[in-house]
């Protein structure tokens, strides 16, 4: 991709992947201030015919599809122990209202619903197939957590030869981790832009048509 094309986006070949902006993570989304910029980006993507895919955590209530990876700590870096045992099941089961996308973002039946059981939106899901059949080669990524699911999805997308744009003001998670990945990790494998910059990239393509 040359420098000129790096600041353009073709709506017909672009998908917006909304990652884990769910009711169970509402507090994190509100704390990061992402709801309004993501909502605006979704509306503008719809108006341009951009495909929308909603990657959502989804697990059996009994935990039989839950990750069994052995780790040193929990997600807050607290060591496991008698007073902090590893969970054997998720806090919510499939179908729970807590696994629904944030209502104000307006997930629609015409969008791609992507239930997932691991960090990456691609692992064990239909996302890649759904994008390939539409000749989509570029994904916009919003959601979080930045250093977990978004990063895992970005690594997978990069290895599958997708072009990626991480939307900086659409990321959730702890601020130091968001900044570190946006400044030092993602630029090596993709583009990092604000939601306003993404819309300007669409506008440049619109003006040329």
pLDDT, tens digit, for every residue of 17-44? 999 999 999 999 999 999 999 999 999 9
Find tokens 């570029």 and name the residue: 138
Residue 61, pLDDT above cutoff 70? yes
Residue 146 in tokens:
């930045």
Enclosing domain of residue 165: 11-58+95-208
What is the rounded distance in angstroms from the CA atom of residue 131 to the CA atom of residue 122?
A: 11
Could you read off the pLDDT of 72-130 as tens digits, one per residue?
A: 999 888 999 999 999 988 899 999 999 999 999 999 999 999 999 999 999 999 999 99
- Is 124 a member of any domain? yes
- CATH assignment at residue 198: 3.40.50.850
Is 150 a member of any domain? yes
Query: What's the confidence (pLDDT) of residue 145?
Result: 95
Mark whether 27 and 65 lie in a shared domain. no
Helix, strand or coil, per DSSP, at residue 51: strand
DSSP assignment letter at 99: G
pLDDT one-digit tens code per residue, 144-179 = 999 999 999 999 999 999 999 999 999 999 999 999
pLDDT at 6: 84
Residues 64-99 as b/e (b if ≥16 CB within 10 A, e otherwise) read eeeeeeeeeeeeeeeeeeeeeeeeeebebeeebeeb
Residue 170 and residue 121 share a domain: yes
Domain count, the chain: 2
The answer to whether residues 103 and 140 belong to one domain is yes
Q: Is residue 137 part of a domain?
A: yes
DSSP 4-39: TGGG---GGGEEEEEES-BGGGHHHHHHHT-HHHHH
Residues 41, 65 share a domain: no
**Alpha-carbon 99 to chain mean position:** 14
Do 36 and 65 belong together in one domain?
no
**116 bridge partner residues:** 57
One domain for residues 23 and 111? yes
Q: How far apart are CA 194 and CA 177, in angstroms?
A: 17
Distance CA 58, CA 167 (A): 24
| Mean pLDDT in residue range 177-193 | 97
Neighbours of 142 (CB within 10 A): 27
pLDDT band at 205 (very low <50, low <70, confident <90, very high): confident
- Give the 3-state secondary structure of residue 148: helix
- Say yes or no: 146 and 191 in one domain: yes
Contact 35, 104 (CB under 8 A): yes
């Amino acid at each position: 991709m040359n420098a000129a094309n790096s600041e353009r986006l073709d709506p017909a070949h672009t998908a917006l992947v909304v990652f884990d902006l769910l009711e169970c993570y509402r507090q994190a989304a509100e704390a990061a201030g992402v709801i309004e910029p993501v909502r605006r980006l979704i509306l503008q993507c719809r108006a341009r015919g951009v495909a929308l895919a909603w990657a959502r955590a989804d697990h059996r209530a009994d935990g039989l599809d839950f990750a069994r990876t052995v780790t040193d700590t929990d997600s807050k870096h607290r060591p496991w122990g008698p007073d902090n045992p590893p969970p054997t099941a998720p806090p919510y089961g499939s179908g729970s209202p807590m696994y629904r996308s944030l209502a104000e973002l307006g997930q629609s039946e015409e969008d791609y619903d992507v239930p997932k059981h691991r960090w990456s939106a691609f692992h064990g899901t239909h996302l890649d197939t759904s994008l390939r059949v539409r000749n989509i080669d570029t994904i916009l990524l919003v959601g979080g957590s930045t250093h977990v699911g978004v990063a895992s999805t970005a690594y997978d997308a990069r290895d599958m030869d997708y072009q990626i744009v991480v939307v900086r003001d659409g990321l959730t998670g702890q601020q130091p981790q968001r900044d570190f990945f946006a400044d030092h990790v993602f630029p090596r494998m993709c583009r990092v832009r604000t939601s306003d910059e993404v819309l300007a990239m669409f506008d440049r393509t619109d003006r040329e048509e």
